[in-house]
Amino acid sequence: MAMSDRGTWGSRFGFVLAASGSAVGLGNIWGFPTKVGQNGGGAFVLVYLACVIFICLPILIAELAIGRRTSSDPVGAYSKLRPGTRWWMAGGLGVAAGFGVLSFYSVIAGWALAYIWFTAIGTVSSDALESAAFFTEFTGRAPINLLLTFVMLASTAGVLLGGIRSGIERVSKLLMPVLALLLIILAIRAVTLPGAAEGLAYYLKPDFSKALNFGTLNAALGQAFFSLSLGLGTMLVYGSYLTKREGIARAAIMVVAVDTSLALLAGFMIFPSGFSIPGFDPSATGPGLIFIVLPQLFATLPGGQFFGATFFILLTVAALTSAISLLEVPVAHLIDSHGWKRTRAVLIVMIATFALAIPSALANGASDFFTHLPVIGLDFLTVMITVWNDFALPMGGLFTAVFVGYVWRIDNALEELLAEQAWFPGRQLWGMLIRYACPAAIFLIIFGTLRGMIT
Ligand code: TRP
């Protein structure tokens, strides 16, 4: 096996920034505020925080522990810990999901890239209907969407060619502080807009009559999973580049803190902005929140072209550092389990992902077939999001929890987590959460999604 193409992080700080770069993405800046809007505001935020602390943090720790113990890609990791069993398939699901998620993720990242330009030159109208029409017309054009998707994938591959330390780690160290700074500037601008108070009240005042139901719990847990890059082996792979010197629990808490603060900060940017537009209805916006509603605001705001371009630069950067971590999962698999050279692995995975992304890029009007798939009637992009986010990722998370809780077992995992006298308070609680709370909660996500589809 070509172990020479495997790297390690240069420092804990480098790891935390790279893993935070993976976690902070479209899920934080687009997904989180959209879900808050669709699920009634402040109370959803509290449910989300509970999911992050009690379900996602334990799973993040578990993934990192498996990765570091085995120094392997997900397939190699499961087969090293339980050779001769079918557990490697849990890793295989993650490798497939890396392709799958990235194939639609890169299409949306391409839109973010294009909107840097659209908002900078001021082509989007301040009128709601015209802004929506502009988005529909733009996403319906094939050549530009394919080109943008390709540019995002090629940039992602470009970073990965540099390897762990001088590729992923270096770029994350450069981009993550920029990202946090841009988000802070935009949030300050937003909370000082006229009408900001109404948006803040919506975001921060929990109305429990709206949030305490099955659908909200389901949405919150799914969102927390996606936002923390769990269930796919991304964190397992990032953990496999950690050295024994770094305490896993401490690093995991830092990553969760960064990801969650930036999601919350995105809410401080989006809700005051939205409510400053007359007639804004947070629950009716859906995915158009970012690409239709905000550009409308930027079209009227003094300095809006500047703030608009800044916002979409932020979104593009966030998406890039996440895309890197998605592509790295299949790449690590080819290097670790098949002995490929990094360069070859990166190029082939990139081309394969682009091929899989084509139908998603054409699913918004450019191709009738992919816009209205036969039999199901949905567009291809929506189908991809559902298959991977709503099923594959929770399944991956369930496998991780069951594997660590009952197969590899808590005491063996703890040996890894406590290596070099690492700091890990609440280890007993962690074991309980992994064995009981996590599998039960994830079961609930999958069941809830199925039920929502049928009814
Ligand atoms: N967490 C990223 C976001 O919030 C997306 C992402 C990167 C991801 N790697 C992942 C999601 C692995 C699930 C699994 O946008």
pLDDT tens per residue across all 455 residues of the chain: 444 568 899 999 999 999 999 999 999 999 999 999 888 888 999 999 999 999 999 999 999 999 999 999 999 999 999 999 999 999 999 999 999 999 999 999 999 999 999 999 988 888 888 988 999 999 999 999 999 999 999 999 999 999 999 999 999 999 999 999 999 999 999 999 988 999 999 999 888 777 677 788 888 998 999 999 999 999 999 999 999 888 999 999 999 999 999 999 999 999 998 888 887 888 766 678 889 888 988 888 888 999 899 999 999 999 999 999 999 999 999 999 999 999 999 999 999 999 999 999 999 989 999 999 988 889 999 899 888 888 899 999 999 999 999 999 999 999 999 999 999 999 999 999 999 999 999 998 888 888 877 76
Check if 94 has its Cβ closer than 6 Å to any atom of ligand 1: no
Query: Given the CA of residue 26, which atom of ligand 1 is nearest to it?
Result: 15
Query: What pLDDT, on the 0 to 100 scale, is given for residue 286?
Result: 66
State if residue 223 touches ligand 1 by the CB under 6 angstroms criterion. no
Is 22 near ligand 1, meaning CB less than 6 Å away?
yes
Length of the chain: 455
Distance CA 364, CA 361 (A): 7
- Output the CA 352–ligand 1 centroid distance in Å: 19
d(CA 46, CA 27): 17
Distance 384 CA to ligand 1 centre (A): 14
Beta carbons within 8 Å of 455's beta carbon, 6+ residues apart? none
Residue 390: the pLDDT is: 83
Taking Cα atoms as reference points, which of 455, 454, 445 lies closest to residue 214? Answer: 445
Q: 163 CB under 6 A from ligand 1?
A: no
Query: Over the stretch 363-385, which tens digit does the pLDDT of each residue have?
Result: 998 999 999 998 888 999 989 98
Residue to mutate, 35, 52, 107, 232, ligand 1, most ligand atoms under 8 Å from C-beta: 232
Test site for ligand 1: of 29, 101, 317, 400, most ligand atoms within 8 A of the Cβ: 101
C-alpha of residue 23 to centroid of ligand 1, in Å: 6
Give the span between the Cα atoms of 124 and 130, in whole angstroms: 8
> So what's the pLDDT on residue 2?
40
| Atom of ligand 1 at shortest range from CA of 228 | 1
Q: Is the pTM of this model over 0.75?
A: yes
Mutate to test the pocket of ligand 1, among 111, 234, 237, 329 (most ligand atoms within 8 A of CB): 234
Atom 7, ligand 1: which residue's CA is nearest? 322
Find out whether the beta carbon of 92 lies less than 6 Å from any atom of ligand 1. no
Which ligand 1 atom is the nearest neighbour of the CA of 230? 14
Tokens of 447: 């069941």
Ligand 1: distance of its center to the CA of 430 in Å?
23
Distance CA 161, CA 422 (A): 32
pLDDT of residue 288: 81
Between the CA of 125 and the centroid of ligand 1 the distance, in Å, is 31
Residue 258 Cβ inside 6 Å of ligand 1? The answer reads no
Residue 393: CB within 6 Å of ligand 1?
A: yes
Domains recognised in the chain with CATH numbers: 3-454 (1.10.4160)
d(CA 169, CA 178): 15
For 256-305, what is the HEC assignment? HHHHHHHHHHHHHHHHHHHHCCCCCCHHHHCCHHHHHHHHHHHHHCCCHH
pLDDT value at residue 1: 40
Instruction: Using the structure block, give the residue that is written with the tokens 């050779």.
Output: 83
- What's residue 365's pLDDT? 87
Question: Is 226 a pocket residue for ligand 1 (Cβ < 6 Å)?
Answer: yes
Atom of ligand 1 nearest to the CA of 98: 12
Atom number of ligand 1 nearest to Cα 326: 9
Residue with CA nearest ligand 1 atom 12: 229
Distance 209 CA to ligand 1 centre (A): 30
**Reduced to 3 states, what is the DSSP secondary structure of residue 35?**
helix
Neighbour tally for 95: CB within 10 Å: 23
Ligand 1 center–CA 306 separation, angstroms: 28
Question: Which positions ≥6 away from 67 have C-beta within 8 Å?
Answer: 77, 235, 236, 237, 238, 239, 240, 241, 242
* 325 CB within 6 A, ligand 1: yes
